[in-house]
Chain A
Amino acid sequence: MKNINELFVSKLKVLNIGLKDFNGNILNSGGESINVNWTPPADGDPELLEIIRKIKESSAAGQ
C-alpha cells in the first residue's frame, strides 16, 4: 500500500511543532499528539541558522 493510503487507515499520531494550542485541540478532539518543546534553532540567529543549514545540506548530499 502506498504511504498516503496507509496513513488513511492508520491511527493518526501527530507531532506538534509550534503553536501549543494545536496540540490541545487535537487531544480535545480525541486524537493523539505529542508536543515538541520547540525553540528557534541557532538561538534565533538567522546567520548562524544559515550556516548550520548549509552544513546539514552538504552532509545530507554526501550520504
Chain B
Amino acid sequence: MKKNIIIQKNSYFDSVELMKFSKALKKLENINDAQLIMGTDANKKFLIQMGLKDPKIADAAPLDLIIYMESESDLFEEDIILMVEEVMSKTASTTSSLYEPSSIEGALKTYRDINLALISVPGQYAAWEALNALRNDLHVMIFSDNVSLEDEIRLKTLGKEKDLLVMGPDCGTSIINNIPLGFANRTNKGGVGLVSASGTGLQAVTAMVHNLGGGISQAIGTGGRDLSKEVGGITMLMGLDALMADESTKIIVLISKPPASEVADKIFKRASEGSKPVIIYFIGENVESPRKGDLYFPKNLSHCAIMAVAQEKYGSIPEEMLDYSTEFRNTPPRPDTGLFIRGLYTGGTLADEAITILASNGVDINTNLHHKSARPVKDPLVSEGHCIIDLGDDFFTRGKAHPMIDPASRRKRLQIEIKDPHTAVMLLDIVLGDGAHEDMVDALSPALSEHSGKIICAYVLGTDLDIQDMASQLTKLKELGVFCFESHSDMVEFASKVVGSWS
C-alpha cells in the first residue's frame, strides 16, 4: 500500500467541498483512502495523529491544500493531481455568475440590491465578516459556530441599532421570503411566522406546518445563545416585533430551550402586548396552562405546528386542540430481544424532546446531553440502559462533518446498537432538506437491513418539496421494516408504549 502527500500552494476550498472531493476520490479504482484538507494547525495535527510523518505536512500553510492519498500501487504525483482536478471539476458546487467578487465591498459595487449576507466561514473569521456586512447595511445569518459570546453581543447590539437582523452565530436554519437558508426544508408560503433558537426545532415545525397544509411567512433562526442572560434575546425580540408588524404573518411561533428567567419575562411581556396570537414552546419546561389570553403553550413540536395551522387556516385555535395526546389503535409490537430504547439522533433539539417525553412517561434515560431529567453517560461511545445520544454534539463532530451531512459515524454506531442484545427499540431522526445528505435512508440501509427482532423507529423530518423526495425515503424505510413517523413526539410516545407493555 502506498501513501502519498502532495501540497498545493494557495488553493483554498471550503470544508464541505473538500468532503465531497474526498468522497469521490475514495470511490476511484486503486484508491484505498483519500483526504483533502486545508493546512490549518488543527488539520496538520490530525494527519500527524494518523501516523503520517511527511515533513511537507508541517510546512503547509492555512491556505495550502493537503492531498493525502493511499493507493494499492505506486502513483506519480502528476497522476494524483490530474485525478484530483478531474474530481473537482465534476463535483464542485455550481455558482450563478462568471464573476465572483472576493469581498463584501466588491460585491456591493456590482450588485447594489444585495440585502442579506449568509456567513459560513470558519468560526474565527465569522465575526469579522458579519461586522463588515452589518456596516454595509446587510442583514446577516451566521451559520458558523465557534464565535465568542462577546462578539455575538457586539454584533447583535449593532444589528439592533441599525434594525438589521443578526441570525446566529450557530444559526443552522432560516427561511426568509420563502427561500431556505442553511439547513432548511422547502415549504409553501403562508401565514405562520417563527423565531427559533433551535435549528431542528424550527425545521420540525416548518415542515409539519407545510405537511398539514399551512405555510410559512418567515422563519427566523436566532442561534442557540440568543435567549441567554448575556445576549438578552435581542434577535428573538426583534424578530417578534417584525413579525407582529408583518402583514403576511397571522400567527407567531417562538421556540427555544428554557431561557434565562429575565429574558423569558421580556418575551412573555412583548408577546402579550402584540396584536397577534403567539405560540411559545420552551422545550422541556413544565406547562401550567395551555393558554393565557392570546399566548399558547403547546406540549411538543408537533403540537406547535397543529396549533399554528389551525390559527392560520380557521382564525382560531379550538378548545380541543389545547391538549395533545397520541392514540395508538393497535397493541404495541414486542421485540424478540432486548429491554431498552436506544436513540441515535442528528438533531439536538429532537434528542432533547425525546428525553423530555420519555422521562415524563417514567422511563429512566441516560444521555450525552445536559438534561435535567436524564443521567449523563460515562462514555458517549457506549450506550447504557435506555439511552438517547445526540451525534451532532461537539464530542462527535470535532474535526468531522455533521452526521446530517455524513452518515458514516451513525451507520457504524447503529450497527453496534442493533447487534447489542440489550437493545429493544431504536429511535432515529431522518432529517431531509437543503444541506442534508442526499439519501440518508440508503446510507443507513446496510445497518437497517440487519435489524431482525428489534423495533426500529424513524421520524422523517421533511416535505414533498425537499430535494430528497420524502415519499421515496418513507417507502424505502417501510420496505426495510422500519416504523415511520412524521411527528417526532408520536414516535417517542410509541417507543414508550412498546417498553411500557412489558415493564
Q: Which residues of A contact B (CB under 8 A)?
A: 2-5, 7-8, 10-41, 43-46, 49, 53, 60
Question: Are A7's CB and B115's CB within 8 A?
Answer: yes
Task: Verify B101–A37 contact, CB threshold 8 A.
Answer: yes
When C-beta atoms are compared, the residue in chain B nearest to A24 turns out to be B93
Q: Is B381 in the interface zone, CB < 8 Å from A? A: no
B97 is contacted by which of A12, A30, A31, A34 (Cβ under 8 Å)? Answer: A34
A15 touches B14 (CB 8 A): no
A39 to B63, CA, bound (A): 8
Q: How many A-B pairs fall under 8 Å by CB?
A: 176
Query: How far does the alpha carbon of A38 sit from the alpha carbon of B132 in the complex, in Å?
Result: 14
- Which residues on A sit within 8 Å (CB–CB) of B217? 8
6 chain-A/chain-B pairs, Cβ below 8 angstroms: A10-B115, A15-B116, A17-B120, A27-B94, A39-B102, A40-B63
Nearest residue (CB) in A for B239 is A4
CA distance A17 to B122 in the complex (A): 10
Q: Nearest Cβ distance between residue A39 and chain B, in whole angstroms?
A: 4
Q: What separation, in Å, do the CA atoms of A28 and B318 have in the docked complex?
A: 38
**Residue among B97, B120, B164 making CB contact with A3, cutoff 8 Å:** B164
Verify A46–B180 contact, CB threshold 8 A.
Answer: no
Instruction: Produce 1/0 per residue, B1-26, CB < 8 A to A.
Output: 00000000000101111000000000
Q: Distance in Å from the Cβ of B433 to the closest Cβ of chain A?
A: 9
B133 at the interface (CB under 8 A from A): yes
Give chain A nearest CB distance to B77 CB in angstroms: 24
Q: Which residues of B contact A (CB under 8 A)?
A: 12, 14-17, 40, 61-63, 92-97, 100-104, 107, 111, 113-122, 124-125, 128-129, 133, 135, 137-139, 143-144, 162-165, 176-177, 179-182, 186, 217-218, 238-239, 241-242, 245-246, 248, 434-435, 467
Instruction: Flag if A15 contacts B133 (CB, 8 Å).
Output: yes
Known contacts A21-B16, A21-B93, A4 near B164 by CB under 8 Å = yes
**Which B residue sits closest to A57, measured CB to CB?**
B131
In the bound complex, residues from chain B placing their C-beta under 8 Å from that of A24 are 93-95
- The reply to whether B114 and A44 form a contact with Cβ atoms under 8 Å apart is no
Whether B96 lies near A14 (C-beta < 8 A) is no
> Cα distance A25–B465 when bound, in Å?
13
User: A2–B119 Cα gap in the complex (Å)?
Assistant: 23
Query: Which residues in B have their C-beta under 8 angstroms from that of A20?
Result: 14, 16-17, 92-93, 95
Inter-subunit contact A19/B164 (CB<8 Å): no
Inter-chain contact B100/A4, CB cutoff 8 Å = no
| List of B residues within 8 angstroms of A36 by Cβ | 100-104, 107
CA–CA, A17 to B133, complex, Å?
10
Residues of B within 8 A of A43 (CB): 61-63
Residues A40 and B245 in contact, CB atoms below 8 Å apart: no
What residues of A have a CB within 8 angstroms of the CB of B118 in the complex?
A: 14-18, 22, 26, 33
Could you say which residues of chain A place their CB within 8 Å of the CB of B182?
22
Q: In the assembled complex, which residues on chain B have CB atoms less than 8 Å from the CB atom of A19?
A: 14-17, 120, 143
Report the Cα distance A29→B463, complex, angstroms.
14
Do A3 and B435 have beta carbons less than 8 Å apart? no
Task: Tell me the smallest distance from the CB of B154 to a CB of chain A, in Å.
Answer: 11
CB distance from A4 to the nearest CB of B (A): 4
Q: Is B93's CB under 8 angstroms from A34's CB?
A: no
Instruction: Point out the residues of chain B lying under 8 angstroms from A53, CB to CB.
Output: 128
**Known contacts A17-B104, A37-B101: does B245 contact A5 (CB below 8 Å)?**
yes
Query: Min CB distance, A40 to chain B, in Å?
Result: 6
Select B128's contact among A3, A11, A33, A49, beta carbons within 8 Å. Answer: A49
Pick the most buried of A12, A30, A53: most chain B CB atoms within 10 A of its CB.
A12
Q: A8-B218, A24-B93, A25-B180 are in contact. Are A17 and B121 (CB under 8 A)?
A: yes
CA distance A23 to B16 in the complex (A): 12
A34 engages B101 (CB within 8 Å): yes
Partner among A11, A18, A29 whose Cβ is within 8 Å of the Cβ of B180 = A29
The closest CB in chain B to the CB of A52 belongs to B128
- Contacts A18-B144, A23-B96, A49-B128 given; indicate if A4 touches B139 (C-beta within 8 A): yes
Q: Output the nearest chain B residue to A20 by Cβ-Cβ distance.
A: B93
Q: Which residues of B contact A12 (CB under 8 A)?
A: 115-116, 176-177, 179
Residues of A within 8 A of B93 (CB): 20-21, 23-24
Q: How far is the CA of A21 from the CA of B135 in the complex (A)?
A: 26
**Residues of the B chain whose Cβ atoms lie less than 8 Å from the Cβ of A31:** 179
Provide the residues of chain B in CB contact with A33, threshold 8 Å. 96, 118
Which of B120, B137, B239 touches A22 (beta carbons < 8 Å)?
B120
Known pairs A17-B120, A20-B17, A43-B63. 14 more at Cβ < 8 A? Answer: A8-B246, A17-B104, A17-B118, A17-B119, A18-B14, A18-B120, A18-B143, A24-B95, A28-B434, A28-B467, A32-B96, A33-B118, A44-B63, A53-B128
Given known A-B contacts A4-B139, A15-B104, A29 and B434 have beta carbons under 8 A apart: yes
In angstroms, Cα B118 to Cα A36, docked, is 10
Contact A17 B117 (CB under 8 A): yes
Name the A residues within 8 Å of B16 (CB-CB): 19-21
Closest to A31 in B: B179
